[in-house]
Amino acid sequence: MIIDCHGHYTTAPAAHQKFRDAQVARFNDPAAPPARPGAISDDEIRETIEKNQLRLQQQRGSDLTLFSPRASAMGHHFGDEAVSLAWTRANNDLIKRVVDLYPQNFVGVCQLPQSPGVPIANSVAELTRCVSELGFIGCNLNPDPSGGHWTSPPLTDRHWYPFYERMVELDVPAMVHVSASCNANFHATGAHYINADTTAFMQFIEGDLFHDFPSLRFIIPHGGGAVPYHWGRYRGLADMLKRPPLDQHVMNNVYFDTCVYHQPGIDLLVRVIDVKNILFGSEMVGAVRGIDPTTGHYFDDTRRYIDALEIAAADKARIYEGNARRVFPRLDALLRTRGQ
């Protein structure tokens, strides 16, 4: 079985974006009409999924995608907490509808109603709703709800602890995932995303978070940002900062996905990072949608790169399935109920 740990509903029906547009208009001008989620039919959802994510799953040969709202549209920086909550709930409810229509192909991962300057404890209720009521198995946690200005404390700060406590109680991991950039210096997917991945990892080295939460788990997407390429730097910094070796200090709790869009990058990832810490992911349909002229294949068709690795079949199975089932115990439990 091939589990893609990183997919977003980037193709949601137009009524969904209209709701967001109305929200933005209302926030900017209180005289504008109140925003309410528009009607979306099951057929509209089917059309947007079957032409895109489901078609690509089938063409590329993956079986199940851990599916979350479009990350770049989370837009935590915009508006206030009430705006973020209403948008977040609409997004998560839409993911639930996709999962209900295609339960064999998608499992839900939730967005959180984060907002700059608002305690993360306020996101606990939505996480709980999504996991306990909607059957989701994980969440996307934004380390920078300000959208590129980094006004929140590091992920290792006690600010985040009330949320981590609930993650541990529910036994769900978080993917560290920023949203859009409203800082012109940082292109969203080319700079802000990769910056955040790299930043989160360094925060984990500097802090002692996993001493306080031994079972807390994070996926750092986009291949771990710059971390695998600079692995010697991070091992050396851990040593300089008198932290334990990374395999004890961080790597029992942190996983990287395979959203690296060329073969040499995947080769390096697997050579540097222990296979137990790598989860298959593609982030399709997402950040990079074109065809690589040097290969003739889509950049984000990441299965090709894993298939081409010269590693044991058992290791490929861990990347494709085993590690995801370990990091997402609720996914494993769900699949077991289906005899999978």
Listed ranges 16-24, 28-36, 71-79, 306-314: which one lies at the site for Zn ion (CB under 5 A): 71-79
For residue 193, what is the enclosing H or E element?
helix 193-206
Contact 168, 203 (CB under 8 A): no
Distance CA 45, CA 290 (A): 24
Which amino acid makes up residue 334? L
At 195, give phi and psi (nearest 5°). Answer: -60, -45
- Which residue of the set 47, 81, 283, 321 is catalytic? 283
Q: Which is nearer to Zn ion, 71 or 155 (CB)?
A: 71
At 283, give phi and psi (nearest 5°). Answer: 55, 40
Listed ranges 25-33, 69-77, 153-161, 229-237: which one lies at the site for Zn ion (CB under 5 A): 69-77
**String marking each residue 18-57 x if it binds Zn ion according to CB under 5 A:** ----------------------------------------
Of 171, 174, 229, 172, the C-alpha closest to 204 is 174
Q: Is position 71 an interface residue for Zn ion (rule: CB under 5 A)?
A: yes
Q: Is position 94 an interface residue for Zn ion (rule: CB under 5 A)?
A: no
Residues 108-137 that bind Zn ion (CB under 5 A): none
At 34, give phi and psi (nearest 5°). Answer: -60, 145
Compute how many residues bind Zn ion; rule: CB under 5 A. Answer: 2
Q: Which is nearer to Zn ion, 228 or 286 (CB)?
A: 286
Q: Which is nearer to Zn ion, 238 or 319 (CB)?
A: 319
Q: How far is the CB of 140 from Zn ion (least distance, A)?
A: 8
Closest residue by beta carbon to Zn ion? 71
Q: Which is nearer to Zn ion, 300 or 321 (CB)?
A: 300
Q: How far is the CB of 175 from Zn ion (least distance, A)?
A: 7
Of 222, 218, 199, the C-alpha closest to 210 is 218
Distance CA 235, CA 253 (A): 16
Question: CA dist 47 to 40, 190, 283, Å?
Answer: 11, 29, 20
Listed ranges 116-124, 164-172, 277-285, 300-308: which one lies at the site for Zn ion (CB under 5 A): 277-285
Of 2, 254, 1, 9, the C-alpha closest to 109 is 9
- How many CB atoms lie under 10 A from the CB of residue 328? 25
Q: Which is nearer to Zn ion, 66 or 71 (CB)?
A: 71
Contact 139, 112 (CB under 8 A): yes
Q: Which is nearer to Zn ion, 2 or 287 (CB)?
A: 287
Listed ranges 117-125, 266-274, 280-288, 300-308: which one lies at the site for Zn ion (CB under 5 A): 280-288
Contact 64, 1 (CB under 8 A): yes
Q: How far is the CB of 197 from Zn ion (least distance, A)?
A: 10
Q: How far is the CB of 300 from Zn ion (least distance, A)?
A: 11
Q: Which of 257, 283, 301, 321 is in the footprint of Zn ion by CB under 5 A?
A: 283
Structure tokens at 118: 């608002």
Q: How far is the CB of 287 from Zn ion (least distance, A)?
A: 7
Query: Residue 299: exposed, middle, or buried by beta-carbon count in 10 A (0-12, 13-18, 19+)?
Result: middle
Q: Does 283 qualify as catalytic in the annotation?
A: yes
Q: How far is the CB of 212 from Zn ion (least distance, A)?
A: 27
Listed ranges 151-159, 197-205, 262-270, 281-289: which one lies at the site for Zn ion (CB under 5 A): 281-289
Of 154, 145, 95, the C-alpha closest to 122 is 145
Q: How far is the CB of 257 from Zn ion (least distance, A)?
A: 9
Residues 190-249 that bind Zn ion (CB under 5 A): none
Distance CA 262, CA 176 (A): 22
Binding site for Zn ion (CB under 5 A): 71, 283
- Enzyme catalytic residues: 283
